[in-house]
Amino acid sequence: MNRYHLIFLLSFAIFIFFLTPDVNTGDGGELTTAAWFLGTAHPSGYPLYLMIGKTVSFLPLGNIAFRIAIISALLSSLSLTLIYWLVFRFTASNSAALFSSTTLLVSYSYFTQSVVAKFYPLNLFLILLLFSLWAVKISAERPAQGAGHDETQILYLTMFLAGILTSNHHTGIIILGPVVAAWALTKNYPLTLRTILTGIALLLSGFLVNSYLILRGGEGHFFRAVNVDNLTDLWEVISRGAYGSSSTIAVTKNLFNGFGLYWYPLRNFFSILTTNFSYFSYLFFLAGSVWLFRKNLKLFIFIMLCLILYGPLLAKLALGSEKKSETDYYIIAHQYFIPALSFFAVVLGAGLYQFERGLKAARLRLLSKLLPLIFAFFPLIFLISRAADSNYRTNFVPYQVTKDTYSILPSDSVIMTFGDSASYQGWYLKLVGRYREDVCQMSSADQEKILWMLQGCSRKIYGSVFPTFFTEKFSEIVPLIQKYRLYSTDPVKETGAYKKYLNSSSLSVDYLYSPQNVFIKDKKENRKDFDSFLRQRQLAADRLIDYSACFSHFTDDFFSRQLCTRYAIHLTDMARLYSDASYHSTGEEVKVQVDDPKSGYSQPLYTINVTEKNRAYLEYSNHLLRFNQWPILYLREKN
């Protein structure tokens, strides 16, 4: 065992301690389900991640979502070790190398991505492999470091890794820009035809990981978030063509539009750096840059190029406008810039080394040994902050809300989920966990343009249970809906495709859908039945759900907080149900209205009589909303 092993094991232990215990919000549910079923995920399909996911899913420890999340902890620990190794190689200072690793470890975005199931840690690891390979090659040009690297070997590894990079997140390929520059800066002899051909073959052999998509994304496979039936589909998926103006190629074109518009991306990027490392870090960054510039200009150019491409340039593509929403910060700022944070951390280590050298030059022997060491360990203090805002170990919200969404449904119901979080978590619970198999889950990205994904409602399974549901005619589905069997995680939207057919009413954490009046024969009788059913189900649901997960999570996860609002709606609906004078009115009155930011549902403004029975519901609802109002770190820093 050496210090690298220790760095790896300690960071792995920290990440595992804070690791999500079950499915997390965002893509976690989809990736876990796709990995288990050897299916496909949303574009770009993520075949490499899914193969790694399938491998760890055989681990006989924890649940499948937890196992998939281990990939993040494992790869983030490896990345930290790689950074330690790299900075130590540049500076030969333990403190400097440790400083780089610890500052990165506790940085908000890096830490959070390391404790949930996501493909960003894998992306970073691949990027860092290429980065290290070329950084070492550049630094090894110095005779003191003892060169002897086989140039073709590095070229071959680069080509192979470049091929593999295409099978994960599209931002990975940006590293190839600085790599080409590094090659141009360091090449010692011209390329031979044989080297070029072998390089191309290795690029292809890495790219072939994508053949997974053709084999598992075709007709007949159970879980396909994207269909890949031919090579055109494959290209569409890899280039993320389905995202239109957000596709890889369309977004790349933005890079060259409006060079004057770099101010906001730059500002947004600095905001990300400051949030993750604080203003204090810029001093070290400056010192590190100066040291690198003096020590090895080529290495300095390479690192800065990496930082610029993964920083301001990426911000121009993805985070370029003046005003950003909470979602923009949470989805883009929090995930895309992890490579930039890592390169920044490398320079920070060099900065501490410069500081250490300064102390040595001043002949402050004790200080030159003690201070850098204190600085190296000091960032670990921020683990306390991470325990308060990124403690995913305590976050059972996504699993519990999803489970309750299903638990309250009558047997043989259909539930429609809209958007990523609700659909992905539903897939995990229903398809991998096989929870409430009598319920059929249909998913669509939104209500405006409905494109049903029937992974949770395969005709093979449910064709005989809901024969009418698979017809094209709405009138044939009406009898099933009138038996109160159609639900959703979202209410019917004004702009939705179903507006002219359906109404919705809030029912606990779900919404009960009913046909519009024109489709109902006995309207009066139907209304009476409907009200009685709604009340009876609301009471039944109150006995089946558990909202305590929303009081005990220490994360500022944007989507978890949104999900908790659904419990607040349930609680205020219950308070309204028990507001009758027969429940011993206290004489107080309160005005209540809860907005669900995810679905856009706004509860009608109720004036509720406080009774002995409903007081607790009102108090819980109030506490729950307050507990989940904590803004995400990026916004906290801004205000």
- Window 523 to 552, contacts with other proteins (CB under 8 A): 540, 543-546, 548-549
Stretches 88-96, 215-223, 263-271, 499-507: which one binds other proteins (CB under 8 A)? 215-223
Contact (CB, 8 A) for 401 and 564: yes
Q: Does 208 bind other proteins (CB under 8 A)?
A: yes
Q: Does 62 bind other proteins (CB under 8 A)?
A: yes
Q: Does 632 bind other proteins (CB under 8 A)?
A: no
Q: Does 61 bind other proteins (CB under 8 A)?
A: yes
Q: How far apart are CA 493 and CA 502, in angstroms?
A: 10
The residues near 258 (Cβ < 8 Å, ≥ 6 apart) are: none
**Torsional sign, CA 232, 238, 241, 242:** positive
**Which 356-395 positions form the footprint of other proteins (CB under 8 A)?**
393
The CB density around residue 607, as the number of other CB atoms within 10 Å, is: 10
Contact (CB, 8 A) for 513 and 487: yes
**Which 159-198 positions form the footprint of other proteins (CB under 8 A)?**
160, 164
DSSP sequence for 585-624: EEEEEEEE--B-TTT--B---EEEEEETTTHHHHHHHHHH
* Minimum separation from the CB atom of position 90 to other proteins (A): 18
Q: Indicate which single residue of 3, 21, 252, 326 sits in contact with other proteins (rule: CB under 8 A).
A: 21
Q: CA torsion 414→418→424→428, rounded to 10°?
A: -10
Q: How far apart are CA 225 and CA 45, in angstroms?
A: 8
Q: Show the tokens assigned to 439.
A: 């319920």
Q: Does 134 bind other proteins (CB under 8 A)?
A: no
Q: Indicate which single residue of 192, 232, 327, 458 sits in contact with other proteins (rule: CB under 8 A).
A: 458
Q: What is the CA radius of gyration of the chain?
A: 27
**Which 23-52 positions form the footprint of other proteins (CB under 8 A)?**
36-38, 51
Q: Which of 96, 95, 128 is nearest to 110 (CA)?
A: 128
- Measured from the CB atom, is 13 or 92 closer to other proteins? 13
* Minimum separation from the CB atom of position 309 to other proteins (A): 26
* Minimum separation from the CB atom of position 324 to other proteins (A): 35
**Which 473-502 positions form the footprint of other proteins (CB under 8 A)?**
483, 485
* Minimum separation from the CB atom of position 523 to other proteins (A): 20
Q: How far apart are CA 623 and CA 558, in angstroms?
A: 17
For residue 486, the cross-strand partners are 414
- Measured from the CB atom, is 61 or 193 closer to other proteins? 61
44 preceded by a cis bond (ω within 30 of 0): yes
**Chain position carrying tokens 């084999």:** 215
Q: How far apart are CA 83 and CA 79, in angstroms?
A: 6
* Minimum separation from the CB atom of position 552 to other proteins (A): 10
Q: Does 613 bind other proteins (CB under 8 A)?
A: no
Q: How far apart are CA 358 and CA 368, in angstroms?
A: 8
- Measured from the CB atom, is 205 or 629 closer to other proteins? 205
- Measured from the CB atom, is 285 or 484 closer to other proteins? 484
* Minimum separation from the CB atom of position 434 to other proteins (A): 5
Stretches 8-16, 313-321, 521-529, 597-605: which one binds other proteins (CB under 8 A)? 8-16
* Minimum separation from the CB atom of position 627 to other proteins (A): 17
Total binding residues for other proteins by CB under 8 A?
79
* Minimum separation from the CB atom of position 53 to other proteins (A): 10
Q: Indicate which single residue of 437, 588, 589, 612 sits in contact with other proteins (rule: CB under 8 A).
A: 437
Stretches 18-26, 171-179, 414-422, 562-570: which one binds other proteins (CB under 8 A)? 18-26
For residue 514, the cross-strand partners are 503
* Minimum separation from the CB atom of position 598 to other proteins (A): 22
| Torsions phi, psi for 521 (to 5 deg) | -80, -65
- Measured from the CB atom, is 555 or 599 closer to other proteins? 555
Q: How far apart are CA 326 and CA 112, in angstroms?
A: 16
* Minimum separation from the CB atom of position 262 to other proteins (A): 39
* Minimum separation from the CB atom of position 62 to other proteins (A): 6
Stretches 309-317, 319-327, 367-375, 404-412: which one binds other proteins (CB under 8 A)? 404-412
* Minimum separation from the CB atom of position 287 to other proteins (A): 32
* Minimum separation from the CB atom of position 44 to other proteins (A): 18
Q: How distant is the alpha carbon of residue 332 from its chain centre?
A: 9
The residues near 389 (Cβ < 8 Å, ≥ 6 apart) are: 108, 554, 555, 556, 630, 633
**Which 224-283 positions form the footprint of other proteins (CB under 8 A)?**
none
Question: Which ranges of 107-190 does DSSP label H, i.e. alpha helix?
Answer: 108-114, 120-139, 151-165, 176-186
* Minimum separation from the CB atom of position 133 to other proteins (A): 10
- Measured from the CB atom, is 59 or 92 closer to other proteins? 59
**Which 68-87 positions form the footprint of other proteins (CB under 8 A)?**
70, 74
**Chain position carrying tokens 């790599």:** 179
Q: How far apart are CA 599 and CA 594, in angstroms?
A: 12
Q: CA torsion 110→114→117→122, rounded to 10°?
A: 80
For residue 590, the cross-strand partners are 608
Q: Indicate which single residue of 178, 379, 433, 496 sits in contact with other proteins (rule: CB under 8 A).
A: 433
Burial category of 631 from C-beta neighbours within 10 Å (exposed 0-12, middle 13-18, buried 19 and up): middle
Q: Indicate which single residue of 3, 16, 181, 595 sits in contact with other proteins (rule: CB under 8 A).
A: 16
* Minimum separation from the CB atom of position 437 to other proteins (A): 5
- Measured from the CB atom, is 223 or 329 closer to other proteins? 223
Q: Indicate which single residue of 85, 262, 293, 435 sits in contact with other proteins (rule: CB under 8 A).
A: 435
Q: Show the tokens assigned to 49.
A: 């991640």
Q: How far apart are CA 241 and CA 249, in angstroms?
A: 8
Stretches 366-374, 458-466, 510-518, 582-590: which one binds other proteins (CB under 8 A)? 458-466
Q: Indicate which single residue of 58, 256, 259, 280 sits in contact with other proteins (rule: CB under 8 A).
A: 58
Q: Show the tokens assigned to 601.
A: 């549902």
| Torsions phi, psi for 237 (to 5 deg) | -70, -50
Q: Which of 579, 533, 603, 633 is nearest to 329 (CA)?
A: 633
- Measured from the CB atom, is 157 or 261 closer to other proteins? 157
**Which 137-156 positions form the footprint of other proteins (CB under 8 A)?**
149-150, 153-154, 156
